[in-house]
Amino acid sequence: MDKKVYESVISGKSDYNISFTDFQTLVINLGFDFKRQDGSHMIYRHNEYRINMNIQPDGSKAKAYQVRQLRNFIKKYGLK
């Protein structure tokens, strides 16, 4: 896992400046599995906690509200 991206998400200082590709890789590395795609919306599901993560790019960046959502999941479930 890329610790730099993980730390950026946890810190909350770079919500608007995280590469979508890096964000998507982090979601996968945290235990989410790709389930399906509908247009630009990609649905990931964490099998252990039964939580869904809907992500989509905003140009080449991750959407800030989705970064915040992932940060909340990390804190709530202790994802590493």
Instruction: Find, among 4, 33, 39, 30, the residue nearest to 18 by Cα.
Output: 4
**Degrees to nearest 5, angle at CA 31 with 28 and 37:** 50
3-state SS assignment for residue 4: helix
pLDDT recorded at residue 2: 85
Tens digit of each residue's pLDDT (9 = 90 or more) over 18-41 = 999 999 999 999 999 999 999 999
Q: Evaluate whether 25 touches 5 at the Cβ level (below 8 Å).
A: yes
Tens digit of each residue's pLDDT (9 = 90 or more) over 51-70 = 999 999 999 999 999 999 99
